[in-house]
Structure 1
Amino acid sequence: MTVPAVFMDLAPEDQAQELRIFFKGLGAEISDEKSPRGIEDDLHKIIGVCDACFKEGDEKDIENILNNIVSILIHIPVERAENLILAFCEKLKKATGLTLGSVCLKALWLLFQSLEEKSPMRYHVYYNLVQIARNVDQVQAVYSGVEDLKEQFKAFPPNNEQMQKLLRLLHEILLSCKKGDQAAAVMVELLGTYTAENASEARQDAQHCIQAALADPNTFLLDPLLALKPVKFLEGELIHDLLFIFVQEKLPAYITFYKNHKDFVETHIGLNHEQNMKKMRLLTFMQLAETHPEMSFETIQNELQIAEEDVESFIIDVLKTKLVRARMDQSGRKVLISNTMHRTFGRPQWMQLRDLLAAWKTNLSSVQDGMKTVATAQMELAAKAKTSKAH
C-alpha cells in the first residue's frame, strides 16, 4: 500500500483521512471516514492504531507515517493537544528493536523541535525522548550536557519537581552507559535544586549521589559533594563519614572504616571493597604527590600497602589516569612527580594558585620591560645609522 507523502500539501483534516485509509488498509481497527467530532478525534484514533505500521513496510515508510502524524499534531493548539501528544509518546516508547526504536526517536525529536519554545509539552516530549534514547543506546543524540539541557528549556523551564524527575532519569541512564563524569554533573545539578529549607527531602538523592560517585572507577574529584546542602544534611551518618575519607583521608582510614562497617559498605550501599581499595590507593598517592615531588618505591609500597613486585604496575596505572604527571626511575627505584591534581581545593590551593599567578605576572612584566629595552636600543641604532648616512 502506498505510504502518504510526508508533510503533504493537504489540510490537516484531509491528511488525517489519508492516514485513516492507510491504517485501515493495514488491517487496523479504524474507520476510513472523517470523525464528525473533528480533527482531534481523528488524530486520537490514528494515534491509537499507529503502531500497526511497525509491522509493515521499511524504516523509511514508518518514518514518513510518524512524521505525517507529527505534522498534524503541531497544527492543533497546544492546550487541546496535550493528551494527544502524551498518547503519541506512549505509543512510540513501546516500540521494540534498535531499528524501530531509532525511527521513533527521530519522529519524537521532530515533534520536540516543532513545538513552540514556550510550550509546556516540550518537557513531556523530552522526558519520553530520553527514555527511548536509553532503549536504543543513543542518549548522546538527545543529551550533551547540563548547560545544553537548561538552554533547551530556557523559554519555559520545567517546575522543580519535573526537573528533578528528569535529572534522576538522566543520571540513571548515564551511569548505565558508563558516562561517569556526565552522570556526576547531572547528580550535582539535581542536588543543587534543593534549598536549605528542603534539603532533608533530598536524603535519598544525596545517598544515591555519594554511592554512585564512590562506585564509579573514573570519579576522583569528590570534594565538591561535601559543599552540597543535601550532602551536608547527612553529616554524622556512616555514608557521609565514608565520603569524607575518600575526599581527605589516606588508605589506613578507609581500611579501619571497612573493618568496623564491612556490612554497611558491601551490603547496605553495595560497594565493592577491592574497587574501593584501588581508588583509595590512587587518591592516597595523589595526596602524597602534593608534598613529595620525589617518592621511593619503598615509600609507595609502605604507604599504599602493596607488594614490592606490584609497585611499578601501580605507577603505570596511575599515569594512565592522567591525574598525576610523573616519570618513573626504575634504576633509582623512585618516581619523580611533575604535577598532580589536588584531591581538595580549599584555601591552601587558592593561595598556591595566587602565588603562581603573581609569579607569572612578574615574569610577564620582566619580559615586557626587556622587550621595551631591546626596542629602544634598536631605535637608537637606527637613528644613529640614519645620521651617519646623512653626513
Structure 2
Amino acid sequence: MSLPAFINVPVNEQLSELCVYVNTKGAELPVEVTQANQSDILVRVISDIDKVWKGTDDNDVEYVFNSVFSLVLYESPEVIKRLVELLTEKLVIGNGERAAIRLRILYNLFNGVEPEKRLAFVVYCGMLKLACKTKNCDQIPTDLDMVRKWSGLWKLTKDETHHVLKLLYDALQECKHSEASSKVMIELLGTYTTDNASKARDDAHRCIVNTLADPNIYLMDHLIALRPVKFLEGELIHDLLTIFVSGKLIDYMEFQKANTDFVKSLGLSHEENIAKMRTLTLMSMAVDNKDLPFDLVIKEMQMSEDEVEGFIIDVVRTKMVRAKIDQLQRKVVVSFSTHRTFGKQQWMLLRERLEQWERNLGQVTKGLESLNTAISQQTAQ
C-alpha cells in the first residue's frame, strides 16, 4: 500500500488518515477522531509508532514521523511536552538498526521544537543516548561551545547541566572522540564546587581512568586542580594519577607491585601503562638534560640497549619530545621536551624567555636603525 499524503487538511482528518496508515502496519487504532479524543489518539499513535518501521523505507518512515510532529505542535504546551518525551523515548529505545534515520528524525524533532525551548533539552538528551548506543556522533551537534550556549537558552539547572554533559561525554567516548570527550569531562568536573564535589566522585574516578588509558594523552596536571579530583586525595586512584602527572617509571612499578589487583580492577593494561610512563619519564629527564647517555636511559626505562632506538622513535612520534640518537657517542640528543606540569617555575621560565626575546628584538631593531642611518648618510653624500 502506498504511503498516504498528509496534506493540509483539518487536524482530526489528518490524524484519522495517519491512524488508517498505521493500522495497515498491524496497529488497532480508532479512525474516528474528534476534538475531544484527539490528544488521546495521538498518544496511541505514538505508542504504536514502532510498527511503521516494518517493511517501510527510510524516506517514508521519516515522512510519517514528520507528519506526527506537525500534529503534536497543535496540542497544548502540557500535552506537547508529554508527546515529545514519548516520541523521543520511542526513537531511543528502538533497536540499534537504522540508527542513522532514527538520529535524523530526532534531529528534525529537535529543530521543530526550536533550540531555545526547554523541550529541545529533552530531545537532545535522547539524541545523545542514541548516539552513544549506536556509536554514531557524526549526525548530531556535539560542539561544547554550542552545548554551553543551549544550556543558557534552556535555563538548565545545575543537575540538568551535569546530566547533559555526562550524556555528551558518554557519546563522545563511545565514538572514540577522546580529545573532545576529555574537554567535556573537564567542563563537567569544573562545574562542581567544594560543597558538592563529593557528588562527582564517580565521574572524577572515571575521568582519571579514561585519561590514563588514552594513548594520546600525556599531560594530566590540569586534572589535579579539579575539585572532584581533589576530593579523591588519599585514595589509590589519586595516588596513581599523581604518578602519571609527576612521577617516574620506577614509581609506577612500585605502585603496581603493591596494588596489582587494584590496577587490574580499573581495566588498565599494565604494558600500556609502562609504555606511557616511559614516555613521561623521558619527558621529565629531557627538560633539564639535553644529552641523555644510553646507560641512563636503559636504567630509568628498565629496558635493554636493543630497545632504546625503537623507544626513542615511538616517543618522537608522540610529539612530546624532539630528539635524535647519536650511536657513536651512545646518547640521545634532545632538542625539545614538553613540560609535564606547568606551575610557577614554568611561568617564571616562560617570562624569562619572553623578556630575552624582547631584548633580542630590541637589539635587532637598533641594528636595523643604525644600518638605515648609515645608508641614508651614504646616499646623501
Normalised by the length of structure 2, the TM-score is 0.91
Matches within 5 A, 1:52-201: 52-98=51-97, 100-201=98-199
Hey, what does 2:334 align to over in structure 1? 337
Q: Post-superposition shift, 1:286? A: 0.8
CA gap of 1:207–1:137, structure 2 versus 1, over 3 A, is: closer
User: 2:355 maps to which residue?
Assistant: 358
Equivalent in 323, 326, 338 of residue 320 of structure 2: 323
Whether the 8 Å CA contact 2:12–2:34 is kept in 1: the answer is no
Shift of 1:91: 1.2
Deviations 1:71-100 (A, max 9, x none): 2333434333111011101111133344x2
Alignment correspondent of 2:32: 33
> 2:106–2:123: 8 Å Cα contact kept in structure 1?
yes
Q: Look up the equivalent residue of 1:180 and give its one-letter code.
A: S
Q: Distance in 1 between matches of 2:38 and 2:296?
A: 77
Separation in structure 2 between the aligned mates of residue 22 and residue 380 of structure 1, nearest angstrom: 94
Q: 1:255 is aligned with what amino acid? A: M
Tell me, in whole angstroms, the C-alpha distance in 1 between the residues paired with 2:309 and 2:116. 58
Q: Residue 78 of structure 1 contacts residue 119 of structure 1 at CA under 8 Å; is this kept in 2?
A: no
In the alignment, which of 273, 296, 306 is matched to residue 303 of structure 2?
306
SS at 1:105 equivalent: helix
Separation of aligned partners in 2, 1:74 and 1:109: 16
Q: Kindly tell me: are residues 298 and 40 of structure 1, through their superposed partners in 2, closer, same or farther at Cα, counting changes over 3 Å?
A: same
Given that 2:132 and 2:170 are in contact with CA atoms closer than 8 Å, whether structure 1 keeps it comes out as no
Contact 2:142–2:168 (8 Å) recurs in 1: no
Which letter maps to 2:94? A
- Distance in 2 of aligned mates of 1:340 and 1:366: 28
CA RMSD of aligned residues (A): 2.3
AA at the equivalent of 2:185: M
1:21 alignment counterpart: 20
- Measure how far apart 1:379 and its partner are: 5.8
Query: Structure 1: which 5+ runs fail to align?
Result: 386-391
Specify the code of the residue in structure 2 equivalent to 1:149.
V
Could you report, residue by residue, the CA deviation over 1:201-238 in whole angstroms, capped at 9, with x for unpaired residues? 22222222222222222221110111011111121222
Distance change >3 Å, CA 329–CA 122, structure 1 → 2 = same
Report what 1:266 is aligned to.
264
Runs of 5+ in structure 2 lacking a partner?
none
CA distance in 1 between partners of 2:38 and 2:363 (Å): 77
Q: Contact 1:127–1:166 at 8 Å: present in 2 too?
A: yes
Q: Retained in 2: the 8 A contact 1:24–1:32?
A: no
| C-alpha deviation, 1:108, in angstroms | 0.7
Q: How far apart are 1:143 and its partner, in Å?
A: 4.1
The count of aligned residue pairs is 381
- Identity fraction in percent: 38
Q: CA deviation at 1:11?
A: 4.4
Shift of residue 239, structure 1, vs aligned partner:
1.6
Mapped partners of 2:4, 2:31: distance in 1: 14
Check the 8 A contact 1:213/1:219 in 2, yes or no: yes
Shift of 1:356: 2.0
Relative to 1, partners in 2 of residues 1:375 and 1:142: Cα closer, same or farther, differing over 3 Å? farther
**TM-fit CA distance, 1:181:** 2.0
